[in-house]
Homo-oligomer: A and B are copies of this chain.
Amino acid sequence: MSEESAKISRATLSDVCRHTGLSTATVSRVINQTGNVKAATVKKVMDAIAQLGYVPNHAARALAGQRNKMIGVVFPEISTGFWAEILKGLDAEADDHQYHILTAFSHGGQDERELALRLLGEGRIDALVVMNLRLGKDFMQQAGRFNIPVILIDRPIAGLETASVTLDNVTGACQAMTHLYEHGYEQVVILAGDLETYDARQRLMGCKKAAKAAKVAWDDRLVVASSFTEEGGSRAIDTWFKQSVKPPRAIFCFNDNIAIGAMNALEKRGFAVPDDVAVIGFDDIDSARHLKLTTVHVPVLEMGRAAANAAIQVISNQAFNKQQVLPTQLVLRRSCGCLVEAEQKVCAG
């Protein structure tokens, strides 16, 4: 209950001053390496700091200096492994620059717009990274009010010149389709996930591009929408078999979860991957490797790093690539029929 807390109060700047006989200004200069301090003085201060175990108080710094050394990150509730890796990248990059990451997930039923806006208002972050799925132009405008840079991961917002880190969805999809065409499969069924999403639309463009290049006639009936889940994948396959007894010869799924669901459904019906059906996914989640699924690799960690880096650059007024597009890579495994063994090969994009 009531613990006698022996308040060993932390050392403060003035403690260091007292200890060294110097002024706050000088000590502050040493700490922030603002130059114009005698080497001997620096040493004296450093020694005192070490001796007292002094660590600058963050709140005071933020209040006085208007900088938090903190980047906020708002994520929607999405597949675990994916954002975990992004976050890792964000944190790694932030850490390299002595920044911290403040997470804010929109857990079920919460509005991520409100979440983001509150975070911006509290003034505890210097920049905001948003994994933007539902947020639009109006949000960006509201956010602009706070004068805090916002970096978008995943897709830019049409008609707005916002900083963003995105994926080359078009080329990624094109690589996958081209690969299947090169296998000789002319009829490729596309399990396209949610066609309302930016990703799906971009990837579809990539597919069409590939078809054109391969001189394959485009057939809209081969595009099957679903949710971006395993269940979506298996349902899509079920739907297919309502109008055909034979499975498609090749399938390209707009994410790995769909692919996994589809493969399960196919196997349940006695069809083998890749012998009866070739399958390619998108994302390259952990399970893709385990299931030997050929897929389009997404450099998730790098997206995180790039986003944090962009944030830090804006904060410090440095020039940077405002609209960054990261490349994908086709990773060849067993499911497309290329490799019989577990080995994998990377097709540079």
Contacts and interface: CB of A to CB of B under 8 A. Distances in A.
A22 B101 CA distance: 37
Interface residues of A, number: 56
- Chief secondary structure at chain A's binding surface: mixed
Given A80-B84, A286-B81, A123 B319 contact: no
B260 A290 contact: yes
A219 interface: no
A100 interface: yes
A123 to B, nearest CB: 5
A102 interface: yes
Contacts of A264: 342
A2 B317 CA distance: 8
A244 interface: no
A123 B54 CA distance: 11
Given A91-B103, A102-B102, A145-B8, A123 B80 contact: no
A142 B56 CA distance: 17
A14 interface: no
A65 B291 CA distance: 53
A105 B121 contact: no
Contact of A286 (B8, B59, B80, B83): B80
23 contacts: A1-B319, A8-B147, A10-B121, A53-B145, A55-B121, A55-B123, A58-B59, A58-B62, A58-B122, A59-B60, A59-B63, A59-B123, A60-B63, A63-B63, A70-B102, A80-B84, A81-B81, A95-B107, A101-B102, A264-B342, A268-B342, A286-B287, A287-B290
Given A2-B317, A55-B121, A100-B104, 10 more contacts: A59-B123, A62-B62, A88-B105, A91-B105, A91-B107, A92-B107, A95-B107, A101-B102, A286-B286, A287-B291
Interface of A: 1-2, 5-10, 53, 55-60, 62-63, 68, 70, 80-81, 83-85, 87-88, 91-92, 95, 100-105, 107, 110, 118, 121-124, 145-147, 260, 264, 268, 285-287, 290-291, 317, 319, 342
